[in-house]
Structure 1
């Protein structure tokens, strides 16, 4: 049985990643894996943890998993470490005395427990008995009336419970939830502009030093220089801006390697030296880090898809499409304005602006995976003659590649 997993970050009030909700499914069904209590669903969940490296999947953060009544009563959570797992109790599970006892057991063993899509209902006879064992309450923020949200906030005065605002889609939703006192936030708003204070992509000191050392060699390795720049969205962005400043718009760039050749090693060395003198004046927040990580994952996914499915020889332009797919969010600038500063190949620019070409179609596949839109993933993959196993193998390899860069401090290394 093939197991496919996507993830969605959950942020705290300091915009640090608190954990990830894992969105999973089985390759044998055509829509999301929805718990029905049978053995196959249990096996899907267990195998998802044993098949994937949970540390790589979650960057050593908490992992949120939805559990059905059957999974809870069969003690499935006990297969996973309590310091990592947050047990989400689905909204359709009756809060019976049986569930109450199970929650008490899991709590005593060190697990965190969350109520998913919770609605305060005094008719639940076991609700007051259950609350002492609950660590988090997740609510659908936009669809929950403000009076109800206020009642939930009041619960925090009696119990040490964190409130999670789900489906945060807009700046207004985020600010309202923050001001009301919610502790954690989840939703696609964090993939959109307006929340960040920075106006430029954070520099990466470590990558610049590696570049300097490589360029100074008697015989610099162009391929190695290309690889260093490709793993750093700040370097990629700035080198393209420099080309746009010094060359005519007839120079359409489709890969970082082409950009290096066009600019020249001496110019790159001078440029790297100048920007290396700049110091980072503030710490990098984790929302920005997560966006950079997603950009790298998308870049590698698009590249691997082009190489393995389309079987192209040079996938550089697909890499750039994924790399810059979130540059508008990172820079807090409309994509229409950002692309005017980058001498990108027309097909890349069109894809970034939403035109439905081949580059955009591939980019859309990974965006669908991020949103757990499994049916759309299947349909889009079939258009390219690919099956789900191939798609998610590419996704997993791209995730491991991006994770390795971050864990090795290649992306977020700063000087003292």
Structure 2
């Protein structure tokens, strides 16, 4: 299993100065074999956006690994330079486009670090003028001790922060400290800690295109409609809008309020992060998405019969009612994490409420659509069996259309 980890970086006083986040194969403790570096970066950015870098780094700067050839300023639109740094790895084939992207990000306040720095790497030298930190491997660098001491001295004169990595033993640490390094990273000081496994919340590929088209048309109602129909995007949006990225005086418990608050520009940036994360629902999962959307639509339509003021809550309740199967978390835990209305949480925990009653009817009609069950539900809701059959078919078609 691949996971996103963080590892502390310490200063000379032994206090945590920064963190680095990176992808790791949990079984080997190493970077996943043959894993696409761009996808690894996208996953890390996706997790930082969802959880919030301030929370991940406990208020400290968090460096994320980015292959230089993939660096784009837009990748970081939803991340604050106050809490996120960029560590350039695999710095090959540098171009003017890359330097322009770096300049844009520096102007926005992002700090840069060059991984595995060395003066003998000629291509790195233009980057040195733009970076704030460099990182050197204590166990795998081309320098003899006196040469390394001189490199450190030059970098200090250039006012670059110098991080030493791969500190595995007490001897490594003492040697690095004596050589004059300013920051220290390695398993001797701190082992990587789990941030999140990469079985993250997926979404439908078609959702990205539909959101993009709605944004292009400046149709905010359509944006809301598209997002509400995708379990994964709804989850990510509510997590994001309630994260530390946006200072606010209120919490958001539904998609419409979140979209209106963010505005089309920030929704566009949010969509870019989704597109980069490349975590689309697989074909075998689409049936669960279809069922979730059916339950959401059915809940909304049942509420419209005699409790219209509950229809939005009934929709969200139905959408996340399969979260154990889809997301591996209990519905009530998801509802709390997303700050959904308290009545939704209570409906999941205890059916003795109006929303809980609606949820029970959803369960009943999903599993039994025979004449007898339809007649019973119609009688309870004070409507005709034909109307129940109608809303069942409408909910089915709506779910089928969107997922297909």
For this structure pair, what is the TM-score category when the shorter chain's length is used for normalisation?
A: 0.3 to 0.5
What TM-score does the superposition give when structure 1 sets the normalisation length? 0.44
Q: Relative contact order (alpha carbons < 8 A, sep ≥ 6): 1 or 2 greater?
A: 1
What TM-score does the superposition give when structure 2 sets the normalisation length? 0.46
Question: Could you say which structure has the larger radius of gyration?
Answer: 2
